[in-house]
A and B are shown apart, each in its own frame.
Chain A
């Protein structure tokens, strides 16, 4: 049961990450243009967020061992995501307009500005969502000889969620929904995960013990 809940949890986390990456690429286009570098920055910045989230999330899991710890992080990430359409447009404008208007933007900044934009808008929620995978591995693993199986399951479910996120957002959401609606829905999904983490905590209590071999 615990394994199933953890797997579903990281599935939804992985889904949200890729919806943010794909819808985000379209979102940044109005400010940075239809440039190739939008994709470079979306992919690169989100991978940085994942790497940091994995590393820090793993350490936090060993230290706190409670699912409730995730709730405030997810609440912040969820609210942040819901409000992307409200607070990010002036920030992105500031990145573009900080260059003198009478001169062309240098080739270097044409490449790096979209990465600044990606970082500002998408780093935080993706970082928090990346924490979920190592955290769930720690919560769901009971015995040392299961760690391989559990971590494999968690990796796989998170990745399958991401795959779904890519295709659903690219093939369906972009056609049917506006970008602000997509961000609001994704933010709401992350808030749901925050609530689920509280429920998990109540259900598991203090049952995360030191791993036994």
Chain B
């Protein structure tokens, strides 16, 4: 009898869930001061949605799978610093990167900074992002956090842009020369910054990627690009080390990290093959972004004005 009841209940749940959208169920929904936050389970994948667009994907069967390809570029800083101990991550979302770092690099101390308290709660309850002795979460604005702190990090990861039906947007105070100078001040001597953004890598018009590349070049001696193959995401990597790395060097360091077991991410070698050390074509026509002038709205809409 009990079993039949269970089966009926499961059937009902399946039927009810299937009425609106087949296979998709909203398991959490809230309006935070920043986003319309939804958690949606869809065919074994859990999605974090801000304002109707996907922010994080996670496999329910294995939380280490299902994530977006670009999040794996955040492992690339190991190439430049094989002794990473402390990582600061601005932007939590569903915590794909935090989950991976906690799993693969158990000796690394991570601090996450997320401005939206609802996102922190959702990451904890639905995406297995926990505060542990090696992972601390601060509810704070990323820039104010950088400015007020003293400790230095080996790596700073920035994933702070959001999307809506009208396109991507990026907080204007997290793209400027002054912001990168503050980030650089919080990085150790061999520090690496990795920055996720969406935009055009090719094309002759002013664009957020060209602008960020130029702006980061003003602060960091070396800047590299990792464009994703399955989306328009590009992870820009900047190093405090002035030593230039070429494609062969990156692959060689990558093989060494895999061989020594320092990096166990199965797709690491594949991801490193996305490496580019060329200046994006639109960098010359895109402005250097400053606190005084950071027209991110038009740059992210392909209507940016040349310098």
Contacts and interface: CB of A to CB of B under 8 A. Distances in A.
Interface residues of A, number: 26
A33 B142 contact: yes
Interface in B126-153: 138-144, 147-150
A119 interface: no
Nearest to B160: A34
A180 interface: yes
Interface in A84-118: 85, 96-97, 99, 101, 104-105, 110
26 contacts: A26-B172, A30-B176, A30-B291, A31-B144, A32-B141, A32-B144, A33-B115, A33-B142, A34-B143, A34-B171, A34-B172, A35-B33, A36-B34, A96-B148, A97-B148, A101-B149, A101-B150, A104-B138, A174-B295, A175-B297, A175-B305, A176-B305, A177-B293, A178-B292, A178-B293, A181-B292
Given A29-B171, A104-B138, A178-B290, 11 more contacts: A33-B140, A33-B173, A34-B173, A35-B33, A85-B292, A96-B144, A97-B148, A101-B148, A105-B140, A177-B293, A180-B292
Q: Which of A33, A35, A96, A181 has the most CB of B within 10 A?
A: A33
A29 B172 contact: yes
B107 interface: no
Contact of B293 (A29, A31, A101, A179): A179
Nearest to A35: B141
Contact of A30 (B33, B140, B143, B148): B143
Interface string A62-102: 00000000000000000000000100000000001101010
Contacts of B179: 30
B128 to A, nearest CB: 24
Interface string B168-208: 00011110101100000000000000000000000000000
Nearest to A179: B292
B229 interface: no
B124 interface: no
From DSSP, what is the main secondary structure of chain A's interface residues? helix
B279 interface: no
B178 A175 contact: no
B241 interface: no
B298 interface: yes
Nearest to A113: B144
Contacts of B304: 175
A103 to B, nearest CB: 10
B121 to A, nearest CB: 14
B173 A30 contact: yes
A175 B141 contact: no
Nearest to B147: A96
Contacts of B305: 175-176
Interface in A173-195: 174-181
Given A104-B138, A176-B305, A35 B115 contact: yes
A110 B141 CA distance: 9
Contacts of A101: 148-150
Contacts of A32: 141, 144
A29 B295 CA distance: 14
A54 B149 CA distance: 43
Given A30-B176, A101-B149, A101-B150, A179 B298 contact: no
Q: Which of B142, B172, B291 has the most CB of A within 10 A?
A: B291
Given A97-B148, A101-B149, A174-B295, A30 B115 contact: no
Nearest to B299: A175
A181 B291 CA distance: 12
A105 to B, nearest CB: 7
Contacts of B148: 96-97, 99, 101, 105
Contacts of B172: 26, 29, 34
Given A30-B173, A35-B141, A101-B149, A174 B34 contact: no
